[in-house]
Amino acid sequence: MNWRAIGSLLLNIIAISVLFFLILTGSSTVSHSAAIAPYLALGFLIIVAYLTGILARELGFPALTGNLLAGIVFGPSLLGFITKSNIHSLEFINTIALSFIALSAGGELKLKSLRENASVISGITLSHTVLIFGGTLVAMVSFLNISGIQGIAGSRIIWMASIVLAVVAVAKSPASTIAVINEYKARGPFTDVVLGVTMVKDVVVLLIFAVSMGIIRGISGAAPFSLSFLFHTFGDIFLSIGAGLVYGGLMILFYRFVAREITVFIVIAAFLANELASFAGLEQMLMCMIAGFVVQNFSRQGALMIEGIEKSHLPIYVIFFSIAGAGLDFSYFGSVYILVTLFVLLRVGLIFFSTFLGAKLTGASPAIRKFAWTGFLTNAGLTLSIAIIVEKAFPDWGRPLKSIIISAIAINQLVGPVLFKIGLVKSGEVRPQSGRDR
């Protein structure tokens, strides 16, 4: 551990923070208008999150943990250098970054590897879906009955809230997974299985949530259970897959006939994919993952795409995870910390057991059986979307439930990447690195 480098990084972070504070308070000669305040905040956040990421690497943690911590420390929850209005203004940047990460995730999936690991990926996915959903549902009905959370009371509401938490427990964050894999350049069957399960589960969770919302609407009396709701959701998923196939084909044409400025192109491709998904009401992550998968596996241009991603992923990850950290709201944690802690620990236990069982039954390697669970802990984008949808549909109990979910996301996002890095090292697909190995 290089203490001189750590000290230098801390001094730089403090100096930049003091300078930005002076600008915010008007004590500096640098003036700014309200219109550019969000972009001034973004510039500060990029610099300080980048330095905090390097600091995290010096201390043996993934860089994205440092990026998240920078967002949390300087965001509304603590120091308040980055305001809620700043975060709202910068959300469009984060959605573009999410498209980029999804393209990257699809590009990392190779058809050959999926075929070789199909049984293991299917076994773990099925085990996760059944055991995590079922175990969480049963446990949370009991926990919520005795917790006395304001707004979540009564048998029907407790069952509805428990169903949502069961869906959330199954979900995970592809963004965090691919960020750690790219940071440590992990390659091998362990990495392929974790990434494969992560991608498949993203689709599975969308389907489970659609069915669950139909059941919840029936329980609440808001609307009878309707197959049309399910058909609509399935239609959106198939349309997103189709759009991903077409978009991937268009990307192949660029790589084949132009093949210039590939770093700039991948960022532009992410932007256009985000705009298309938003305009057509498609599932952004799914569409982009399919597009990246198509380029990688159905053309000779996959290496070009990965080259562009590797050249540009560092600033994208810094922006995405620092804004994500700033957006985490800890204001409700004090009132729900016992239930959140129980939920997080329950989820970790179920992920460990279901991963081990699924891997064992499908004859996976000892490394996958013992350590693959570390790759399934984080959950962010899709999970937050579920919380927001439920809050809008059922504000009375959806609002307190959202506070529980956001608090759990915060813990999982901080702990998950660290444990996944350890799992990758234990699997032998990443060598232990010092802070200098960047």
* 41-59: pLDDT as tens digits: 888 989 999 999 999 988 8
Residue 226 has pLDDT above 80, yes or no: no
- Domain with 307 in it: 94-427
According to the model, what pLDDT value does residue 224 have?
58
Domain identity same for 51 and 143: no
Confidence of residue 36 (pLDDT cuts 50, 70, 90): confident
pLDDT in tens, 103-154: 888 888 888 888 888 999 999 999 999 999 999 999 999 988 887 787 788 8
In a domain, 432, yes or no: no
Residue 307 has pLDDT above 60, yes or no: yes
Residue 105 tokens read as 């995730």
Residue 435 has pLDDT above 50, yes or no: no
Percentage of residues of the chain with pLDDT beyond 90: 28
Other Cβ atoms within 10 Å of 414 Cβ, number: 18
Q: Cα 89 to chain center, whole Å? A: 20
Percentage of residues of the chain with pLDDT beyond 70: 92
According to the model, what pLDDT value does residue 95 have?
81
Q: How far apart are the first and last CA of the chain?
A: 14
Domain identity same for 167 and 88: no
Cα distance between residue 265 and residue 267, in whole Å: 5
Grouping H, G, I as helix, E, B as strand and the rest as coil, residue 325 is helix
Structure-token match 């039954």, residue found: 361
- Picking from 145, 147, 151, 144, the residue whose alpha carbon sits closest to that of residue 396 is 151
pLDDT in tens, 352-407: 999 999 999 999 999 999 999 999 998 877 787 788 888 887 888 888 888 888 88
Cα distance between residue 435 and residue 173, in whole Å: 25
According to the model, what pLDDT value does residue 170 have?
93
Mean pLDDT (whole number) for 74-79? 86
According to the model, what pLDDT value does residue 228 have?
67
Q: Name the residue with higher pLDDT: 358 or 255.
A: 358
In a domain, 133, yes or no: yes
Helices (H) and strands (E) in the chain, counts: 19, 0
**Average confidence score pLDDT of the chain:** 85
Domain identity same for 70 and 112: no
Residue 323 has pLDDT above 80, yes or no: yes
- Picking from 321, 346, 364, the residue whose alpha carbon sits closest to that of residue 139 is 346
Domain identity same for 158 and 36: no
Residue 36 tokens read as 């550019």
According to the model, what pLDDT value does residue 438 have?
44
Mean pLDDT (whole number) for 412-434? 85
Residue 414 has pLDDT above 80, yes or no: yes
Q: Name the residue with higher pLDDT: 377 or 101.
A: 377
- Picking from 171, 117, 212, the residue whose alpha carbon sits closest to that of residue 351 is 171
According to the model, what pLDDT value does residue 121 have?
94
Under a CB-based contact definition with an 8 Å cutoff, are residues 336 and 79 in contact? no
Cα distance between residue 121 and residue 201, in whole Å: 10
Domain identity same for 115 and 67: no
Cα distance between residue 56 and residue 11, in whole Å: 15
At 266, which CATH number?
A: 1.20.1530.20
Domain identity same for 74 and 187: no
In a domain, 434, yes or no: no
Structure-token match 């169903």, residue found: 163
Q: Name the residue with higher pLDDT: 65 or 36.
A: 65
Under a CB-based contact definition with an 8 Å cutoff, are residues 264 and 214 in contact? no
Q: Name the residue with higher pLDDT: 9 or 331.
A: 9
Give the DSSP H/E element, type plus range, for residue 127: helix 118-127
According to the model, what pLDDT value does residue 436 have?
44
Contacts 24+ apart (CB under 8 A), 130-135: 130/354, 131/350, 131/353, 131/354, 131/357, 132/166, 132/169, 132/170, 132/347, 132/350, 132/351, 132/354, 133/166, 133/167, 133/169, 133/170, 133/208, 134/166, 135/346, 135/350
Domain identity same for 254 and 370: yes
In a domain, 22, yes or no: yes
According to the model, what pLDDT value does residue 185 have?
86
Domain identity same for 328 and 184: yes
Q: Name the residue with higher pLDDT: 202 or 254.
A: 254
Cα distance between residue 305 and residue 266, in whole Å: 7
Question: Which of 93, 128, 163 is a domain's end point?
Answer: 93
Residue 328 tokens read as 């985490």
Our count of domains for the chain comes to 2
Domain identity same for 44 and 190: no
Domain identity same for 14 and 122: no
Domain identity same for 409 and 287: yes
- Picking from 32, 192, 43, 49, the residue whose alpha carbon sits closest to that of residue 109 is 192
